[in-house]
Amino acid sequence: MQAVITAIDLLGNAVINAAESGSPFPLKRRDRLLAYSLALMGRDDEDGFADYACSTLVSVEPKLTVETRNHVMEVCGFHLIMFNSIF
pLDDT of residue 86: 43
In the DSSP assignment, the letter for residue 64 is P
Which of the two residues, 14 and 85, has the higher pLDDT score?
14
Q: How far apart are CA 20 and CA 35, in angstroms?
A: 25
The tally of domains found in the chain comes to 1
Range of the domain at 60: 2-18+27-86
pLDDT per residue as tens digits for the range 6-58: 899 999 999 999 999 999 888 889 989 998 888 887 676 567 778 888 888 98
pLDDT of residue 58: 87
pTM of the model: 0.76
